Structure 1
Amino acid sequence: MCHLLDTAAVARMVWRDVVAPGTQRWVAEQLGMSVEDAGRLVAFWAGLHDVGKLTPTFQRQVAIPDGYADAASDGDGRAHDQATHVWLASALAGLGYPSGRRSLARLVAELLGGHHGRFHRFEPRVLMPDALPLQGLGDGAWEQQRQAALAAAVSILRPPVPAASMRVSCAAVVSGVVILADWLASGTPYIKSRLAEVPQRGDGASLESFFAGSCAAAPELVRSSGLSRLNLQAGSFAEEFPDFEPNALQASIADRLGDIATGPGLLMVAAPTGFGKTEIALHAARRLSEIAGTSGLYVALPTMATADQMLRRVATYLARRGRDPAVTSLLHGMAWLMPVEATLAEVYQKAGISGDDQRWFSEWMRGAKRAMLAPVGVGTIDQALLSVLPTRHNALRMFALSGKTVIIDEVHAFSPYMRELLKTLLRWLGELRVPVVLLSATLPQGVARELAAAYLGPTTTAAPTDPVVPYPGWAYVQAEPPVAESARVTLPQTHRRTLTVSVQAIDRDSGGAPERMPALTTELEPLAERGGCAAVICTTVAETQRTYQALRQWSAHLPESQQPELVLLHSRFPAYRREDITAQVMRKFGKGDADDGVHPDRPARAILVASAIIEQSLDVDFDLVITDLAPIELLLQRAGRLQRHRQLDTSRPDWVCTAGTLDPRLVVLTMPERDVEAGRWPVTWPYIYPKATLIRAHRILNDRIGDGIRIPDDVQRLVDLGNPGDALPAHDPLLDGFDDTEVERIANTMVERQSAEVRSIPEPHRISSLGKLSEHEVDEEIVATRFNADSVRVLVCFETPDGQLRLGSPTGDGLPTPDPDGHFTRQQLATVMNHSIPVPGSLVRDAGEEYTLPSPWADNWALARLLLMRHRVTTNGEVLPAQLGQRVFDLDHELGLVTSTA
């Protein structure tokens, strides 16, 4: 009973100080009462969450008290959370709650029965009080005790009785409040602090006194966890970002958004890379939060690397504009390895904010489930998508998002599968009155219409529901009251340019791999002779490795003064190496301190060979970009890394100029026309991108030779040409002779979309029971937020002749040793994980037990899923790579993990 009162007191405080005002109003409106009364009612519900422990099954773990039947043979021994669900459906009806199959009593019973993160299937017999013994709950003294607990909760908490029901989506949010309150009140330090006040007898006066103590202790418990509301200073865009004048896009949104937005809505922004979309997103999110009553922020990025990069930018904004420091969390699968606390401390101290009382980091909020509860989160889109997949505690994630404004970047990078999951997420966010800002450099109009329609929902009266997002420009839609506005902006001449397109035909070798070197040596010869920086972007990791090796051999035959610095970046490096290389890339090719046209760390001549990971959110600049053929929107995104930083223009090499004027040139490697017409492609390319999109891009580019691509004028038309939608067109001249490839693309798109529909939870208007959120539950460690992109982390260890497993090299450190109790420190775990490498699951699908770590490492939660790739070291020092079936895995310090066929 004391734990229930503790939880009720914490829930009351969470409602008062954490739940966003807009969410409070939404819940209260559905329950037909004031915000204050709704908070009292939610606290009362939280105080009943463990009533299912008053059953024989639960009490048998210690002993059955005298006077209580054991009922060992009765029922099915339900867990206490399900017992809560079963009992409360009828018990609440006895308090005057509307009852029946779709009643409020049943819905509250469901949400409380889900306080361990899994909702239970509704059973009609839960509404039959006389069936309690058959359901394993016990009758007689058991029922008297449950009724006494309920009566005590009513007497002490004095909840109002709701006259109305609420939507299932609202119940999901309330369940998040209950789960959070239960977690906080269940912490061992808190329980120890309250033991001295536990009464010896459960009479009303003693319990009233205990609850008063709970209410007094709850504020500090909530505060110390880092839970709070984000509180930003109001102000104009210029006040928020005083270091530069707003450009046309930023000024347009800043000037008009406040006039048209009257409630939660969806803002879609489409503009070239490097055009300040992050700044306008933060400004718009703050404005929309004020209007909608949200009090938090989640910034979703496509990859872990881009999330790591964004953390510092968001923290810098918060340090400058926050009225009080707010806990900021980093959310992705490897976030616990990152020095988040040190990064935030550095940002805040640089802003002149220091002291132990400033709270921008919370140890309690480490871990994905708790981290989402922070007032500010920066992470991958996957962490948000988990809220619409049937994972345990998905409702808690939904609650965490319900009080925030959500920014989603790089929307164009989503596959059909991810886009379908995103539509489900947007539908739920629209239902929960969450403002959303979507950012894209190349957003097809068909995709924009789908996303807007998802957010507005099936019953909206807003017209049109398929707004056009001008390029460059923005569109805003809102369901209640209906709003649909858009604006195209005119960029100044300094932000307009014509991109020269060079299409270079390359052949394939005998194995079907692309032969890039003849084209690369021709294109890179001026760089070697006269200096400059170039990026070469390959389709697969293996191709980046082979291309890097070939360029290294080419460079070795050049005069020493002409040999360019070579850098290789892809995803299959150990985590610590990839982080180091990414930092090196940002230092060499990033903006740097180049206001005077001089970049002190920019090499005189350098070539970065990379996979597609550099096309997303990395602020890097190259004099020349050479790329494999890819969908047109991705090529335009890669072109955004071409002569990106205008302050470097005065120091660029002369070979990137034509008639004394800078000539930004994108070189695209593609197949000869005869191979395209014959359907002959490098063996890997169609596995990464649909043939139809490659053919479209190939023909679009060939059509632009001579005229170039005017940025931004031509961008939207080309993107839409390359992405005609998912309906089979009557005729597409870009696919003359290849209609079958479009049928194949649409079929594959349908498979991805249907797979997403099957795996995700139903949209809110199609759900009548919280149990639907937990149907076909999957483990979030293995659930797929990306289609056929299951990733497994492998750990390469060098096994010495004496059987020792070493990290990094044959002479590296051994695997860390746990303490006598079998526990590892966070630093020890981080050391191991920093040597792990992500690989596609398809490469290691047949790995057996011999590829798992031995004990004690395999017994740890963080290391248990690692696959061990043993590189055996012979007595004469030779290193033998690991082998799995016919595939060989060889870790090279310079190349990363190289896979080949035995």
Structure 2
Amino acid sequence: MIQFNPKESGWAKTNQDGSPGLPIFEHCCHVGWVALELVKQSRKIPDADLTPIAIAIIAAIHDIGKWSPGFLVKCPLWLIRENLVLFAADHAWEAQQEKRHEAHSQDSIQLLLQKRGVKQSVAQAWAMIAGAHHGKMHVPEKYGNCDVTPFIDEWHFQRQQIIFELEAELGSEIPTYEVNKRDAIVPWLMGLTTIADWIGSDETYFPVNKGLDTGNGKIAAKLAVESIGLANPRIRKGLKFKDIFGFIPNELQEKALLAIKEPGIYVIEAPMGLGKTEAALACTYELLKTGKASGLYFALPTQLTSNRIHLRVNDFINAISETPENARLAHANAWLETDYYQPRAVQTIFKKFDGDATVSRDWFASAKRALLANFGVGTIDQALMSIVAVKHFFVRRFALSGKVIIIDEVHSYDYFTGTLVKCLCDELLKLGCTIIILSATLLPKVRNKLIGIDGNLVNVDTYPLITGKTINGDVIKPQFAVAPERPAVRKIFKNSNHLIEDAVKAAQMGARVLWVCNTVNLAQQIFGQLPSDSGFESGLLHSRYPHFIRQEREAYWMKRLGKTGAQQGGCILVSTQIVEQSVDIDADILISELAPMDMLLQRIGRLWRHMDVRSARIRPVSEPQVWIVEEEKTLAELEREGSERIKKAFGIKAKVYQVYPLLKTYQTLHDYEFIELSNKTGNSQIRQLLENTYENTDQDPDSWQALYSEVKGTEFAETRLAEGNTRLFSKMALADEEGKQTRLIDIETIPLLIVLESSVNQITLLDDYKISLPITEFKIQDARAIHQNIVRVHAWPFEQIKKESELSFYLKGKHCLAHLDNDGRLNMDGLKPEIKLSWCEIKGVIQIYNKGGLDESCD
């Protein structure tokens, strides 16, 4: 027979030698105390009916399912100690491992609650919290609403005895009030329980070889939460806008501070370069200072924009925080950055703690945990994975709860990601968040949909504009601001045959020319046509460089065209869309391919930004100009063409963007000689241009209407697909990878690694870094070097792609090693015979396709 004592039986953790350590009851207590400390120190409960003690018991009961034969048999030394080796064999304990211990926890909790009179659906909701703590939800059992006593076997009965002891120890019973599994509190509790379990399993604070001591256990929980960096940030009081940012606020920033005072959802619409970021951060400070927010996450479209804003947010945090603290960079490649997160060191009541921040740094290294830091900057994808059915989605949701979430460049997302953003906003509002959406190019109907209000309530055309509503649903009074006057931008259509010559002349006169292409191939071609001895500097930026080269060049050109590079003379920077938004650069002349109006306006926003440094008097051109590459067919011809011929006329642009917005942009631009981002009266043409492009469809030719129908069909399909990914209780656990479930990727890409030399003993990478072979252990410096040397290329030029190579230890899934010849050719297996890839240090990876076909977009 099995000897059972609810406080001492079983094992939850083992010692290093594999012997049983903590009993189940002790480990559950540790997790409950950690959960209590998390709530006391940093997290507000998004449910008025739930007390901190009740939360502690919910977290504590997560592991009662470890009292099950399938789990207990995993520790042979425990079986020996308890004289159960033969008993376990006779009763086939090994065969019972199929059902995981967390599923047993869920079942026993559900049965107990139903026995206590809770209806089945409510019991399932409370029980699923425990069942999810390893990242994946388990389908609940259907025991019915009848007397459930006959369904309880001896294991269930004994697990419930452990629950009774935990309730007595922690001083609370499992809540029984009515909840639905789709209520906001359920995933919040799943996240809290999972994090408390991670912390409560850390032997640094909870050694497996010590007996239970309630006092020391609670102290250990406090130590763990503080030293890991999960306590509330300490914010300086009484700071003014200038104290934080070094300059006085403009009208937009002042109006933002008047409008955004309570948790809710808000939209700041203003032209590029007007300080929307500082406006949002200033509001963040006020909310943090008054205890209405617990932290910050700044979400951006790309890793590049995240890296750039990260530096600015760090300056902000250093200004407002009483203790040394940085923003955690949260995206898939954050670990490649040299300025790796160094969290604050916290002095605690334990004298043995020496303030070493290593614990925090290691703890936050996981992508799942990155958002838990008080302050974070990263991609929108990391936030979106809190509302799609990926493993541990609820950890991210808990991590974001109560914080200020700034979503920048919201206009840049397609229907799929845009639908997810709307869902994210809806869910975060339920968790007490403040969501601040920033955009220069947002249609009113899109803004109203994001806020969740009737358009009649905010039916205003003023721009800049701040709108929103509080978490209580109260619509704020719209705040209007006047933007500083900016010179009108002259729009010029130019034939492609004259662009090189005209751009060179402008640069020779001292103009800073920014040339934005829609594809990497075209950017490389344009750059190759620029003269090398023309007396001015030229550069090329795109995504087909290894990370270490791209990072270096981006940093150089951001400085070269930034405020500090104001007097460095003429230049031409040829780039792709990577300079389109969230990049603070100042050009005198913009050359651009045709792009949808919102994207084109973002490009125009790079013109004449730093008027305080480079005034009109010292610029080599009298006015900002955008030269748009003229299409081969005239507007009149395009109005007569059929839809398929129109697609063919737009060429590769039709593979990068939807054709209808390109047509409408081209049509709208013909009505404007100048584009005013902000004129003397403070008005802007941005909204008018967008509405003419996206909402004026009545007079379109039949072929254009057909193309518009394609847009609406895409919108419907992508919206439904996105909504499907948010069905958390049907899909249960999708792949947890950045961008995998939050972006629609039309063309597959693979990592390509350029190799200079290769032997059985060593591989030399493009930057001369050497990796010894064979690889037998993980080395962080080798891992970083490999990923710093990766170039992402499209998969379609390959007939087959290997999944294995000498570096498969570090590169999972499909990847390619390309050996570099002396003539620059890249040799690799599996490439289609009509494709050639070569390497040029200046141009990057060059793709030559002898038969014409698809091209690569920017990023």
TM-score by length of 2: 0.86
1:7 correspondence with 2:28: no
C-alpha separation between the residues in 2 aligned to 1:733 and 1:156? 73
Q: Name which of 475, 479, 489 aligns with 2:481.
A: 489
Q: Name which of 521, 524, 531 aligns with 2:500.
A: 521
Listed as ranges, the matches of 1:182-581 within 5 Å are: 182-192=197-207, 195=209, 197-198=210-211, 207=212, 210-235=213-238, 237-241=240-244, 243-258=246-261, 261=262, 264-289=263-288, 293-326=292-325, 328-341=327-340, 362-453=361-452, 468=460, 470-492=462-484, 495-505=485-495, 516=496, 518-551=497-530, 555-556=531-532, 560=533, 562-581=534-553
Contact 2:113–2:176 at 8 Å: present in 1 too? no
Q: Name which of 40, 44, 51 aligns with 1:16.
A: 40
Can you list the C-alpha shifts for 1:513-562, whole angstroms capped at 9, x where unaligned?
A: xxx3x2312421432442221011000111111111122xxx14xxx4x3
Structure 1 unaligned regions, length at least 5: 32-37, 134-138, 199-206, 346-354, 457-461, 506-515, 658-662, 763-770
- What does residue 167 of structure 2 align with? 154
Quickly say closer, same or farther: Cα 1:735–1:814, change in 2 above 3 A: farther
- What does residue 185 of structure 2 align with? 170
Quick check: which one's helix share is greater? 1
C-alpha separation between the residues in 1 aligned to 2:654 and 2:101? 52
Quickly say closer, same or farther: Cα 1:117–1:361, change in 2 above 3 A: closer
- What does residue 689 of structure 1 align with? 657
Q: Secondary structure at the match of 1:432?
A: coil
Quickly say closer, same or farther: Cα 1:842–1:753, change in 2 above 3 A: farther
Contact 1:873–1:880 at 8 Å: present in 2 too? yes
Listed as ranges, the matches of 1:568-717 within 5 Å are: 568-592=540-564, 599=567, 602=568, 604-650=569-615, 655-657=620-622, 663-674=623-634, 676-677=638-639, 678=641, 679=646, 680-705=648-673, 712-717=683-688
How far residue 473 of structure 1 moved from its aligned partner, in angstroms, is 1.7
How far residue 698 of structure 1 moved from its aligned partner, in angstroms, is 0.7
- What does residue 107 of structure 2 align with? 86
Quickly say closer, same or farther: Cα 1:885–1:428, change in 2 above 3 A: same
- What does residue 831 of structure 2 align with? 884
- What does residue 804 of structure 2 align with? 852
C-alpha separation between the residues in 1 aligned to 2:674 and 2:227? 64
How far residue 240 of structure 1 moved from its aligned partner, in angstroms, is 4.4
Letter in 1 for 2:727: I
Letter in 2 for 1:500: R
How far residue 42 of structure 1 moved from its aligned partner, in angstroms, is 1.1
C-alpha separation between the residues in 2 aligned to 1:431 and 1:469? 30
How far residue 279 of structure 1 moved from its aligned partner, in angstroms, is 0.7
Contact 2:317–2:327 at 8 Å: present in 1 too? no
Q: Secondary structure at the match of 1:643?
A: coil
Q: Name which of 667, 679, 691 aligns with 1:720.
A: 691
Q: Name which of 120, 127, 138 aligns with 1:101.
A: 120
Letter in 2 for 1:830: R
Letter in 2 for 1:6: H
Contact 1:501–1:709 at 8 Å: present in 2 too? no
Can you list the C-alpha shifts for 1:105-124, whole angstroms capped at 9, x where unaligned?
A: 32221110101111111220
Q: Secondary structure at the match of 1:607?
A: strand
Percent identical:
26
Contact 1:449–1:467 at 8 Å: present in 2 too? no
- What does residue 30 of structure 1 align with? 49
How far residue 155 of structure 1 moved from its aligned partner, in angstroms, is 2.0
Q: Secondary structure at the match of 1:713?
A: coil
How far residue 47 of structure 1 moved from its aligned partner, in angstroms, is 1.4
C-alpha separation between the residues in 2 aligned to 1:446 and 1:298? 26
How far residue 614 of structure 1 moved from its aligned partner, in angstroms, is 0.1
Contact 2:445–2:455 at 8 Å: present in 1 too? no
Range with bigger deviation, 151-160 or 400-409 = 151-160
How far residue 225 of structure 1 moved from its aligned partner, in angstroms, is 1.1
Q: Name which of 831, 849, 852 aligns with 1:901.
A: 849
How far residue 175 of structure 1 moved from its aligned partner, in angstroms, is 1.3
Can you list the C-alpha shifts for 1:258-298, whole angstroms capped at 9, x where unaligned?
A: 4xx4xx21110011111111111011223345678321110
Quickly say closer, same or farther: Cα 1:756–1:242, change in 2 above 3 A: closer
Range with bigger deviation, 386-395 or 61-70 = 61-70
C-alpha separation between the residues in 1 aligned to 2:555 and 2:438? 25
Quickly say closer, same or farther: Cα 1:11–1:225, change in 2 above 3 A: same
- What does residue 779 of structure 2 align with? 825
Quickly say closer, same or farther: Cα 1:359–1:314, change in 2 above 3 A: farther
Contact 1:47–1:153 at 8 Å: present in 2 too? yes
Quickly say closer, same or farther: Cα 1:816–1:441, change in 2 above 3 A: farther
How far residue 892 of structure 1 moved from its aligned partner, in angstroms, is 2.2
C-alpha separation between the residues in 2 aligned to 1:448 and 1:111? 35
Contact 1:797–1:806 at 8 Å: present in 2 too? no
Q: How many equivalent residue pairs? A: 794
How far residue 247 of structure 1 moved from its aligned partner, in angstroms, is 1.0
Can you list the C-alpha shifts for 1:47-89, whole angstroms capped at 9, x where unaligned?
A: 1111111111111223555576664388783110111111110
CA RMSD of aligned residues (A): 3.1
- What does residue 20 of structure 2 align with? none
C-alpha separation between the residues in 1 aligned to 2:721 and 2:657? 19
1:180 correspondence with 2:195: yes
Contact 1:30–1:165 at 8 Å: present in 2 too? no
How far residue 828 of structure 1 moved from its aligned partner, in angstroms, is 1.5
Contact 1:475–1:487 at 8 Å: present in 2 too? yes
Q: Name which of 59, 64, 68 aligns with 1:55.
A: 68
Contact 2:65–2:101 at 8 Å: present in 1 too? yes
Contact 1:336–1:367 at 8 Å: present in 2 too? no
C-alpha separation between the residues in 2 aligned to 1:707 and 1:606? 24
C-alpha separation between the residues in 1 aligned to 2:712 and 2:385? 26
Letter in 2 for 1:582: E
- What does residue 350 of structure 2 align with? none
C-alpha separation between the residues in 1 aligned to 2:502 and 2:711? 33
C-alpha separation between the residues in 2 aligned to 1:807 and 1:275? 47
